[in-house]
Structure 1
Amino acid sequence: MKREDSVRKRIKNSYILKRLLFLVPVILGVSFITFGLMYISPNDPAEMMLLAQGTPIEPEILQKMQQRMGLDKPFLEQYITWIFNAVRGDFGSSYVSGEPVRDMILRNIPATLKLTFYSCLMTIVFSLPLGILSAVKQNKFTDYIIRFCTFVGVSVPGFFLSLLLMYEFSIRLKLLPVRGDSTLKGLLLPTVTLAMAMTCKYIRQIRAAILEELGKGYVKGARARGVKERIILYKNVLKNSMLTIVTLMAMSIGYLLGGTAVVERIFSIQGLGNMAMDAITARDYPVVEGFVAWMALIFVLINLLADLLYRVLNPKIRLQASESED
């Protein structure tokens, strides 16, 4: 028994190490493409820096600024320098404000984290029971109503829904603030806006996963043995459907942490999405590069956590991994 536990632990550690090593080429690839696109941009970063400082653009001043920013060096040398600085947490400074990009990201993360947490929580609370109910009541009136509502919810654009909620609950009823903030009351409308589309999508996916499991042989066998429908549903079917739910949640968390730009913009929430939109508008390249690197890191880490959850939820995945390692 101890030997088996030791082997499983070794396999798990090896798997995690491989996935962490996989981070390196992904981050390098994304950062290289982003840095290359910023490099070939027609706007001169040194000129933009001088304009932000209100300094007259003269050839000598522009040349000195380019040398100070390292823009006179070859592309690969600039990229390698940026990578080594980024590994230490230095993504450069904003061309507009002069503030370090790292400080800007850290300052805007809390609002996005709260918005992500509340949106995912609301999505799970509503999508899981409604998805199960829709599957259990397949082709009945309840199923038709839920499916119709999800179709409408998925079809409504996020910006339109946010404006509609803002008009109804903030302007007309005056129950919630127009401008979003870090409080629960201030995040309610943006949370509902983000959770609406995700909930409708999740309901359809959960319904499909539950129906697929209900049609399998082990369910028919359990019913033939007289096992109660509720036990079959919650003990077997729902457990086997968790892989679909974990996959959807991993994708949504990565998307939300990357920044929900439109919603943050409409509700004036100082999050990562709003920061990225300001940087793109102002052509603030260091902020854009830091934001893209953050997004790439988040997506890969979330996918790694999802894969580890797969191995916990489905013993077959663990068995296949063990056999492949042996």
Structure 2
Amino acid sequence: MLRYTGNRLQQSVVLLFLASVVCFTLVVSSPGNVAVLIAELRGMIGSPGYVEQIEQEIGLNKPLLIRYADWLGNVIQGDFGISYRTGHDVNADIMNRITVTGMLVAGGAVVATVASLVLGFIGAFWPGGITDRAVRGFALVGASTPTFFVGALVIFMFAVILNLVPAVGFNGLKSWILPWITVAVLPAAVLSRVVRVGLEEAMASPYVLTAKSKGLSRFRIMFRDALPNITPIYINALGTQIGLMTAAAIIVEPLFAWQGMGDYFLNGVRFRDFMVVQACLLLFLTFFIVVNLVVDLTVMATDPRIRRQRSGA
């Protein structure tokens, strides 16, 4: 277990390095001159020598490898630089916004987890019935519907027609309900199928037949014996969906007029604020890598079969 953990940590460090290379390369290879853009934003585009002065200030006249090394060194120290558009410290902007995105993803993950377990369990408890078909229908529709359409639909239904919750902005706990539902629909649909199929396979296992011969109820067998056996598969799928929910925040936050990391990233792209784009991309990729690391270690800890395979290897 310790050896596997060490190997996964080394792989994660390598992936983080590659992620930094990708972020830097994508930004520096974009068309246009950053110095000209900054001069335009400051209203100094017509000043002689001003563009060259900006290039020297932000190091655009240095070789790419030196620019990358300088940027990476600052990032390792927690310094993401200064926004080209606003002149604000990117670190401060991120700290003001990351909590919003974190709460959105965390709340959506909780909603998706609870909904998927309940729906998947109900479908497997009455296989082939109306309830099971309804759960399958929800999974099909939920997994096929774009996130922005789900957001527009729940806003129209619950905020406009029923007037139960606010549509945009922050106004207490009610403001989180619609964004959580929006970001959780697709993951809940996918995960409910994971639970449903996993329980169906588990209920055909020999240990389930043994439990039935002892006179145990179907509910007890599913909850005590079958459900724990699909935990590793479910954790793997949940980790993937949490990563996708982070990407979905780019769509959900502007939809509800929230100022989180997704909105910050979109503004950076819109105004070609490359320091912001680099920081957001790197943070998103880092989150994906960390989530995958945690998922792998959790699956390793919860599944003795995988531990035995790793030990044998």
Q: State how far apart, in whole Å, the 1-side matches of 2:133 and 2:230 are.
A: 22
Q: Name the residue aligned to 1:23.
A: 12
Q: Name the residue aligned to 1:310.
A: 299
Could you give the per-residue CA deviations for residues 135-154 of structure 1, whole angstroms, max 9, x where no partner exists?
22221222112212222222
- Give the TM-score normalised by the residue count of structure 1: 0.90
Q: State how far apart, in whole Å, the 1-side matches of 2:270 and 2:290 are.
A: 29
Q: State how far apart, in whole Å, the 1-side matches of 2:220 and 2:242 are.
A: 30
Does the 8 A contact of 1:258 with 1:272 survive in 2? no
Quick check: 1:141 aligned with 2:127? no
Q: Name the residue aligned to 2:49.
A: 60
Q: State how far apart, in whole Å, the 2-side matches of 1:109 and 1:48 are.
A: 27
Q: State how far apart, in whole Å, the 2-side matches of 1:69 and 1:165 are.
A: 45
1:1-326 matched pairs, under 5 angstroms: 11-12=1-2, 14-181=3-170, 183-258=172-247, 260-324=249-313
Could you give the per-residue CA deviations for residues 154-179 of structure 1, whole angstroms, max 9, x where no partner exists?
23322122122212222233222121
Deviation at 1:225, TM superposition (A): 4.1
Does the 8 A contact of 1:260 with 1:273 survive in 2? yes
Does the 8 A contact of 1:210 with 1:237 survive in 2? yes
Does the 8 A contact of 1:23 with 1:297 survive in 2? no
Deviation at 1:59, TM superposition (A): 4.9
Deviation at 1:320, TM superposition (A): 2.6
After TM superposition, the structure 1 stretch with the greater mean CA deviation from structure 2, 169-178 or 301-310, is 169-178
Q: State how far apart, in whole Å, the 1-side matches of 2:199 and 2:221 are.
A: 11
Does the 8 A contact of 2:165 with 2:175 survive in 1? yes
Which ranges of structure 2 fall in alignment gaps of 5 or more residues?
none
Deviation at 1:300, TM superposition (A): 1.2
Does the 8 A contact of 2:45 with 2:51 survive in 1? no
Deviation at 1:304, TM superposition (A): 1.3
Does the 8 A contact of 1:250 with 1:306 survive in 2? yes
Q: Name the residue aligned to 1:3.
A: none
The secondary structure found in structure 1 opposite 2:305 is: helix
Deviation at 1:182, TM superposition (A): 6.9
Could you give the per-residue CA deviations for residues 232-272 of structure 1, whole angstroms, max 9, x where no partner exists?
21122100101122112212222334561111111011111
Q: State how far apart, in whole Å, the 2-side matches of 1:163 and 1:205 are.
A: 27
Identical aligned residues as a percent: 29
Deviation at 1:314, TM superposition (A): 0.9
- Give the TM-score normalised by the residue count of structure 2: 0.93
Does the 8 A contact of 2:148 with 2:252 survive in 1? yes
Could you give the per-residue CA deviations for residues 268-316 of structure 1, whole angstroms, max 9, x where no partner exists?
1111111111111111111111111111211111111111211221112
Q: State how far apart, in whole Å, the 1-side matches of 2:51 and 2:64 are.
A: 19
The secondary structure found in structure 2 opposite 1:260 is: helix
Count residues in correspondence: 313
Q: Which amino acid aligns with 1:183?
A: G
Q: Which amino acid aligns with 1:127?
A: S
Q: State how far apart, in whole Å, the 1-side matches of 2:256 and 2:9 are.
A: 36
Q: Which amino acid aligns with 1:235?
A: R
Q: Which amino acid aligns with 1:285?
A: F
Which ranges of structure 1 fall in alignment gaps of 5 or more residues?
1-10
After TM superposition, the structure 1 stretch with the greater mean CA deviation from structure 2, 189-198 or 314-323, is 314-323
Q: State how far apart, in whole Å, the 1-side matches of 2:50 and 2:245 are.
A: 42
Q: State how far apart, in whole Å, the 1-side matches of 2:221 and 2:207 are.
A: 9
Q: State how far apart, in whole Å, the 1-side matches of 2:76 and 2:246 are.
A: 20
Deviation at 1:213, TM superposition (A): 1.4
Q: Which amino acid aligns with 2:156?
A: Y
After TM superposition, the structure 1 stretch with the greater mean CA deviation from structure 2, 45-54 or 171-180, is 171-180
